[in-house]
Chain A
Amino acid sequence: MAATTLPAPTRRRTKKPPRHQWLATLGAAARTRRGAIGLGLAGFVVLVAVIGPSVEPYSSTAFVTTPFSQPTGQFLLGGDTLGRDVLSRVLDGGWVLLIMAACATAFGVIVGATAGISAAYLRGKVDGIIMRTVDVILAFPSLVFALLLVSILGPKLWLIVLAVGFTHAPAVARVLRSATLDISERDYVKAVELQGVKPSKVMRSEILPNLISPLMVETGLRLTWSIVLMAGLNFLGFGQPPPTPNWGYMIQENRIGLSSNPWAVIVPAALIALLTIGTNTYTDAVARVAIGVERKPEQAALIDELPIGQAA
């Protein structure tokens, strides 16, 4: 009987958007070529870091060969600056970085998003205070800010996590604030506000579902940045205390032996590079799917042929 009220025109998209939009977006991104490559690269490095500690051939801290010895059948990647097995140190040196980066990202995104959304929706003084704080934090380059905190409180791991997470918060807050400002001005939010619905409910049921895309993209970007920053701090010598291996510091301690055994530097550097390239590429794919980074040529070409509101 429905069919009689209106002729059913051909639909462009007959598939229903699923309930968990974000899962669908992640999946769709993984199915693009870019996304698949990114996920593959990052997945490979994560696998090495996670499985590594249980398959390392030697103890990562034992002196088993001569310093900077070339790779042999016994020591596949040769020896490091103190004669430890590079392969074992590589296998053991990634998981802490991953955990710390993930925690810092979670911390940064949660703090930043909360600050940004509240600033935008509550406006007024709250907005002023939050955004001026953001300005002040942003005046320190991220690494400098982290170094400052470490110099004050000492190189503790949890502190590095907090410091790195904290440097992300302002950027996340800015992005989420402007996204929230945009959405809270939309007519569909006004329509609900007009019924006298409470602000907290408006934020939860009308605004938040529309922030999922920017949140996902921000999280991806921040994860990449956490890894870069964290590895940088490790490289500078702020991280787990020696002799525990980590990829960042391995590059630092082994680079004097570059001409004897370059593998002690190349392999950890390559793993870090693959990881960040992987997360960044996947994030890019997510952004393309979720936000639509570029207009499809057809849409651009037919912009004047589409209904007014749709073209905007």
Chain B
Amino acid sequence: MSTVTAEAAEPSAPQASLRLEVRDLKIDLTSSGADVVSEVSFSVHAGEVLGLVGESGSGKTTVALALLGYARRGLTISSGGIYLDGENMLLLKPAELRALRGAKVSYVPQDPSAALNPTLRIGTQLREALSSHPDVSGDVDARMIEVLADARLDASTGVLKRYPHQLSGGQQQRVAIAMAFSCRPSLIVLDEPTTGLDVTTQRHVLETVRSLCRSYGVAAVYVSHDLAVVGGLVSQVAVMYAGRVIELGSTEQVFNAPVHPYTRGLLAAVPSPERAEILVGVEGQPPRPGRRPRGCAFAPRCSYAIERCTVETPQPVVAAGRAVRCLRASELGSDMPRRRGLLVSPVEEGSEAILDLKGVSANYGHVPVLHDISLQVAPESCMAVVGESGSGKTTLARCIVGLHPNWTGEMDFDGTALVKGARKRQKDLLKRIQYIFQNPYTSLNPRKTISQIISQPLEHFFRLPASEREARVARVLEDVSLGPDFLSRYPDQLSGGERQRVAIARALVVEPDLLVCDEVTSALDVSVQAVIVELLRRLQHERRLAMIFITHNLALVRSIAQNTVVLCEGRLVEAGPVEQVLANPQDEYTINLIKDVPKLVTHVSNAEPALDPA
């Protein structure tokens, strides 16, 4: 994996021609004229990959689509220039633009399962990419075979005769990549092409993209929210926030020694699979498009913000060798944010497990999804359950809390056998085991206030006078760092992070002994994820809770858990203390999993500010 970084770090050939230049791009909402993206400028040379990094609401997808001269309905590209091989795309007539798309500039979508037409065969869709541009595609049939081989798809398997839903996610994405490279374009725009894929497939797809870009001298723009993925692939990074590029430089500069406070925050929030550290997130949420505050859009969330930041819009300045949009760039210098190491105290030997699973197997209908799972959770400790989609990790959680009754085996909670299904369990047991759902956008009743949502379990489990109930709700709300002004709000007035805090408060208000967290950060941005994980870690420690933390993100495990188990296709393949499993995995699946996880190399290895990458 370190080799990966070395490759990416190779300076592009000095003579490489300029493929793409974006100048002062501005994209507005058609209705209100409010800008979604503005003052975006960057350039990409042949064979070079630029990473466009940002969280939700940053405008990165809008910029990506604009690179094909395209704006979604409701958006207008209002000014600026996009020069592809010297020609301004925005001045082209619609017919010329159509001829350009797919031929000189092509697009790899985020979700190929939605971007491939469900009623057309793969062959038809691939052929169409070529036959729409007869002047550049040449002999279509010969090219089809070539293109499939490029994307490492085996044409002999009859893939061309199939419909999209008959392919796996990885195959679908390879088809999309084959289409994108089919006319040998000058520029390829990749919009989070690996988001839905498991890490191994993700690595293979990334390797394919990288080798194709290099061998055909294509310029590429890679859009992603995942800094670790970008770090291993691209040579230049543009970090976007609230529709503007706030930091633009080489990958080494930006990732090793960020200048902008937002970049620093973002990097500090990325969990490390190699060191146990306390995650530091960025509080608050980005402004919505069209509702940007005056001055610097990041100022409300910025710990370095001064009075001036709220009135004056920062212009890009050159600091430490890269462009930064921060008024205080020169004073701040460049520095790698440091995170405090986390001292993971190992679970005491011989302590009686609070939750003890023996030979648990579960089915969905007739389909077995879990096989013979045995694990123990020690009191006051956190157990991470790691697995990719389809590993059965969520089913395991749902069996434990009683949402999924179709299982066999034994579950013992603090000396009491757990029966199947929550309805049959004793009230006291239901109170002591609490569950936090994956998606905070669906786990809160939209018709109830936050106060009603949190006091509901209190009313159910305890007979308390109203004043005492209110006091407890207020206290738990404070514990999750939400003020009393949230009490009268409704869920749709809250951001994702705030909603997840409410869900945590609802679980904690009844003082449980075991908290089961099911992928609680997978719907959140990385800067918010860090805040929530740290909150959970602190609460687990303070309240001496036992916790099961379910995740697909191996890197998160060190920041929260003492013990971990790894699930693969419904089987438990590895178990033990976190340090031992991550540093010295025994099972082949775990070994590969750890190897394939993209890592922010520079970030971990250099706690000191980075010097020249030599």
* Chain A residues near B (Cβ < 8 Å): 1-3, 5-7, 9-14, 16-17, 21, 186-197, 206, 209-210, 296-298, 300-302, 304-310, 312
Contact = CB atoms under 8 A, between A and B. Distances in A.
A209 B401 contact: no
Interface string B56-71: 1111111000000001
A190 B503 CA distance: 13
Given A186-B442, A188-B443, A6 B481 contact: yes
A68 B110 CA distance: 71
Nearest to A1: B483
B430 A309 contact: no
A209 B447 contact: yes
Given A6-B284, A194-B403, A196-B422, A310 B441 contact: yes
Given A186-B442, A196-B423, 4 more contacts: A9-B285, A9-B300, A10-B288, A304-B61
Contacts of A14: 493
Given A305-B59, A308-B523, A197 B460 contact: yes
24 contacts: A6-B482, A7-B284, A9-B284, A12-B288, A12-B493, A21-B447, A187-B437, A191-B435, A192-B456, A194-B435, A195-B461, A196-B422, A196-B430, A297-B30, A297-B73, A298-B29, A302-B57, A302-B62, A302-B72, A302-B74, A307-B441, A307-B495, A308-B439, A312-B441
Nearest to A21: B447
B10 interface: no
Contacts of A6: 283-284, 481-483, 498
A309 B291 contact: no
A13 B110 CA distance: 30
B362 to A, nearest CB: 17
Given A7-B301, A300-B73, A306 B403 contact: no
Contacts of A195: 422, 430-431, 457, 460-461
B445 interface: yes
B506 A5 contact: no
Nearest to B503: A191
Given A2-B484, A7-B300, A300-B72, A307 B460 contact: no
Interface string B423-450: 1010100110001011111111111100
A304 B191 CA distance: 10
B124 to A, nearest CB: 26
A189 to B, nearest CB: 8
B295 interface: no
B283 A7 contact: yes
Contact of A305 (B289, B461, B485, B493): B289
B490 interface: yes
Interface in B401-418: 401-403
A5 B447 contact: no
A193 B62 CA distance: 41
B97 interface: no
Nearest to B492: A13
Interface in B275-318: 283-285, 287-291, 293, 300-301
B578 interface: no
B212 interface: no
A21 B485 CA distance: 21
B513 interface: no
Nearest to B480: A5
A309 B58 CA distance: 17
B496 interface: yes
Pick from A10, A17, A298 the residue with the most CB of B within 10 Å: A298
A194 B56 contact: no
Given A10-B293, A302-B62, A309 B441 contact: yes
A301 B72 contact: yes
A297 B456 CA distance: 37
A305 B496 CA distance: 14
Contacts of A308: 56, 439, 441, 523
B427 A196 contact: yes
Contacts of A9: 284-285, 287, 300, 495
A302 B30 CA distance: 12
Interface in B71-87: 71-75
Contact of B478 (A5, A16, A188, A302): A5
